[in-house]
Amino acid sequence: MPVLENARHEKFVQCLITGMTQRKAYRESFASSNRWKDNTVDSRASELLKVSEVLGRYKELQEEAQDEAILTRKERMVKLSEIAKDDEYPGDQIRAIDTLNKMDGIYTKKLELSGEVKAKNPYAELTTEELRRIAHGDDG
């Protein structure tokens, strides 16, 4: 979504993204609102944020900010590699190497299943006497 055509609306959204409250962002964007009561400003700010273009722009900028805050895979691997090379904290080195190995898929993965295994027992219908004969190697 491009920059909002209404400069005051764009400024309002930009102020919100920087961490201002709706009230402060509205007053920063609309100078005349500095003379208004807080309740009026709060109401107008809330209404403005509900406008689809304003809300859409806000969500877009919020998502961009989150994307920038997330380390890429390469950045994480570089940071872990730095920790792994730091001899001052051996415990951290081991954990960093372990994490790097997991990221690379070096370890085999353990798969656990729950539930029943339904297999037919070939000896289920034999009598005790027949089972004894088989156990002793008697064929007859």
C-alpha 84/C-alpha 90 separation (Å) is 8
pTM of the model: 0.52
Dump pLDDT digits (tens) for 34-87.
999 999 999 999 999 999 999 999 999 988 888 777 777 888 888 889 999 998
Tell me what pLDDT residue 56 has: 95
In the block, tokens 């309740």 appear at 39
Tell me what pLDDT residue 89 has: 86
Average pLDDT for the chain: 88
Q: For residue 72, what is the DSSP state?
A: P
